[in-house]
């Protein structure tokens, strides 16, 4: 196979790739330690198996949770500021049109959704990525609300009080886990995207005329 | 709380998962994935997924917890009041909680009980329950939030801690106030929290003499802190500039524990 240098295109800037992997680490640590914390006083009639939790006991899990939160928040802010200031957020994820979304969902369900050009997200991807960004904002906000219900009282009240903010925090976690599962399944189905998020490069799409 | 320090062994499951995913990838992606799973493996080491959490990791987590103490100390607003609730919202029955079971609650004789004072306090004379009852009393219905996540509303009454500290001539520029308890429990708080208007030396619960389950004869109620920072059966109070730690704090709970 002849590797033509010009057939590779730049897809993800380095900063986005670094943020992606730091975020992945933070999410795994936050979710696994969060499950252990949840187990200390479950709000629903189930607990998480100990084997998939982190920290060993409540105190250990809290140490992990409140260490990894710094990675999640600082890294998330760097990502958001970079994407907003550079215009990447608007360029990549906007607009999300309902008509395109319905069309792309239909295509996806038939297994025909195009990933030909990795530089452009389809409407389902746009919704999923913007959605998970908003849910991450929600998980941090509800986390702050239950961490500091006295100091951040307006926030806690906004989220329905201490007890309800716990439910919001749990719901955000569930949506994040759902996103991660779908995200990983998609990577397995389209493995080349996995290389792209590491190297930043992808093979150029075949020209239309061919 | 019942089984501290139980460590998880999931490394084997992780290896299995990595193999399963690798099988489903095409050749170049598989190489990259497996290469990457090496760092996933080192992450597993870091997370304590292995049988032992490396000491360096424990040290790092403790350092971050200390850093979080300082962040919370800075976030603490001495004028921000914890929400109060109508008495009709008091949780009934109010949950019992301690590091031991309810049938092991210490019965302390209130008639012989004496509150000892130590450290940076001008007047170290011990206090009897009768003496304390003569000081001005307030009562507040607030939410008790446990580190485990549950919460319950209760009504605690007694002497504003600030009033007491000033009365005994405590050095209110000191950093810490430490508590030793009749149930071999201990904890400590920062001075700004000790001086907070809602921090109360509690003698009553729901307008009745504090029952043994909730800390008879005296409990310090701090609605700006998590439950484990609210000591029951208090026997001695020390004002100090030396970090005092506490029962749970020494095992890894965050020291500041502020809400």
Is the model more confident about B146 or about B29?
A: B146
| Cα of B249 to nearest chain A Cα, Å | 9
Residue that is written with structure tokens 């680490």 in the block: A25
Using a CB-CB distance cutoff of 8 angstroms, which residues of chain A are in contact with residue B49?
54
Tell whether the model's pLDDT for residue B32 goes beyond 70.
no
DSSP 3-state assignment of B247?
coil
Residue B175 phi/psi, 5° resolution? -85, -40
Residue B99 tokens, joined:
């590091």
Q: Mutation test of the interface with chain A: which of B1, B44, B47, choosing the one with the most A Cβ atoms within 10 A? A: B47
- Where do runs of H (alpha helix) occur along chain A? 14-40, 58-86, 88-93, 98-109, 123-147, 153-158, 161-189, 192-199
pLDDT band at residue B43 using 50, 70 and 90 as cut-offs: low
Q: What is the pLDDT of residues B94-147, one digit of tens each?
A: 999 999 999 999 999 999 999 999 999 999 999 999 999 999 999 999 999 999
Residue B26: other Cβ atoms inside 10 A: 9
Given a cut of 70, the residues of chain A with pLDDT beneath it are 1-6, 207-210
pLDDT band at residue B33 using 50, 70 and 90 as cut-offs: low
pLDDT value at residue A185? 96
Tell whether the model's pLDDT for residue B15 goes beyond 90.
no
Residue B115 tokens, joined:
């509150």
pLDDT value at residue B13? 46
* B138 φ/ψ sector (left φ>0, alpha ψ -120 to 50, else beta): beta
Chain B stretch 5-64, residues whose beta carbon is closer than 8 A to a beta carbon of chain A:
5-10, 13, 21, 24-26, 28-30, 32-33, 36, 43, 47-49, 53, 60-62, 64
Q: Which of B233, B224, B231, B235 is nearest to B248 (CA)?
A: B231
CA dist., res. A4 & res. A203, Å (int): 10
> What is the ipTM for the molecules in this complex?
0.92
Contacts of A184 by beta carbon, 8 Å cutoff, 6+ apart: none
Residues of A with CB under 8 A from a CB of B: 25, 28-29, 32, 37-38, 40-41, 43, 50-60, 62-64, 66-67, 70, 146-151, 153, 162-163, 166, 188, 191-192, 194-195, 198
The answer to whether the beta carbons of residues B4 and B147 sit under 8 Å apart is: no
DSSP string across B79-130: TPPPPB--GGG--SSPPP--SS-GGG-----TTT--BEEEESBS----B-HH
Q: What is the pLDDT of residues A136-169, one digit of tens each?
A: 999 999 999 999 999 999 999 999 999 999 999 9
Q: Which residue in B26, B149, B223 is closest to A40 by CB distance?
A: B149
Residue A148 tokens, joined:
């500091």
Is the model more confident about B33 or about B191?
A: B191
Point out which residues pair with B139 in neighbouring strands: B157
* H or E stretch at B20: helix B11-23
DSSP code for B149:
S
- Where do runs of H (alpha helix) occur along A110-191? 123-147, 153-158, 161-189
pLDDT value at residue A140? 98
Using a CB-CB distance cutoff of 8 angstroms, which residues of chain A are in contact with residue B24?
188
Residue B94 tokens, joined:
């109010």
Shortest CA distance from B7: residue in chain A: A56
Q: Which of A165, A85, A179 is nearest to A130 (CA)?
A: A179
Q: What global pTM score does this model have?
A: 0.86
* H or E stretch at B167: helix B161-167
Residue A24: other Cβ atoms inside 10 A: 15
Q: What is the pLDDT of residues B192-248, one digit of tens each?
A: 999 999 999 999 999 999 999 999 999 999 999 999 999 999 999 999 999 999 999
CA dist., res. A152 & res. A29, Å (int): 25
Contacts of A68 by beta carbon, 8 Å cutoff, 6+ apart: A25, A26, A29, A30, A33
Q: What is the pLDDT of residues B170-187, one digit of tens each?
A: 999 999 999 999 999 999
């Amino acid at each position: 196979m002849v590797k033509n240098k010009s057939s590779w295109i730049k897809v993800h800037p380095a900063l986005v790739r670094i943020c992606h992997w730091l975020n992945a680490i933070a999410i795994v640590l936050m979710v696994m330690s969060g499950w252990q914390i949840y187990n200390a006083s479950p709000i629903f009639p189930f607990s998480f198996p100990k084997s998939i939790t982190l920290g060993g006991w409540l105190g250990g899990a809290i140490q992990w949770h409140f260490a990894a939160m710094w990675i999640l928040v600082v890294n998330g802010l760097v990502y958001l500021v970079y994407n907003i200031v550079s215009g990447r957020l608007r360029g990549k994820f906007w607009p999300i049109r309902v008509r395109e979304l319905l069309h792309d969902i239909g295509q996806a369900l038939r297994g025909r959704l195009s990933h030909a050009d990795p530089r452009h997200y389809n409407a389902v991807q746009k919704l999923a990525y913007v959605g998970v960004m908003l849910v991450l904002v929600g998980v941090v906000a509800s986390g702050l609300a239950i961490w500091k219900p006295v100091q951040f009282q307006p926030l806690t009240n906004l989220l329905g009080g201490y007890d309800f903010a716990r439910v919001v925090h749990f719901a955000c976690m569930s949506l994040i886990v759902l996103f991660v599962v779908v995200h990983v399944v998609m990577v397995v189905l389209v493995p080349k995207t996995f290389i792209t998020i590491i190297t930043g490069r992808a093979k150029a799409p075949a020209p239309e005329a061919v | 709380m019942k089984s501290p320090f139980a460590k998880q062994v999931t490394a084997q499951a992780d290896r299995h998962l990595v193999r399963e995913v690798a099988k489903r990838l095409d050749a170049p992606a598989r190489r990259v994935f497996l290469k990457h799973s090496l760092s996933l493996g080192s992450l597993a080491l870091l997370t304590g997924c292995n049988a032992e959490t490396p000491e360096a990791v424990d040290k790092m987590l403790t350092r971050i917890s200390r850093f979080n103490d300082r962040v919370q100390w800075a976030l603490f607003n001495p004028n921000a009041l914890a929400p109060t609730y109508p008495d009709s919202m008091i949780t009934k029955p109010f949950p019992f909680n301690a590091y031991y079971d309810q049938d092991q609650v210490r019965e302390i004789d209130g008639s012989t009980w004496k509150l000892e004072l130590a450290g940076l306090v001008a007047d170290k004379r011990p206090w009897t329950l009768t003496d304390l009852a003569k000081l001005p009393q307030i009562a507040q219905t607030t939410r008790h939030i446990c580190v485990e996540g549950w919460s319950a509303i209760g009504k605690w009454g007694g002497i504003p801690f600030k009033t007491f500290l000033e009365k005994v001539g405590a050095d209110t520029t000191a950093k810490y106030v430490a508590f030793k308890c009749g149930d071999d429990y201990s904890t400590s708080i920062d001075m700004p929290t000790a001086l907070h208007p809602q921090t109360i030396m509690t003698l009553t619960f729901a307008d009745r003499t504090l029952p043994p389950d909730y800390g008879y004869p005296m409990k310090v109620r701090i609605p700006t802190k998590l439950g484990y920072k609210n000591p029951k059966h208090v026997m001695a109070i020390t004002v100090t500039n030396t970090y005092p730690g506490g029962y749970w704090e020494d095992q890894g709970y965050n020291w500041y524990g502020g809400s």
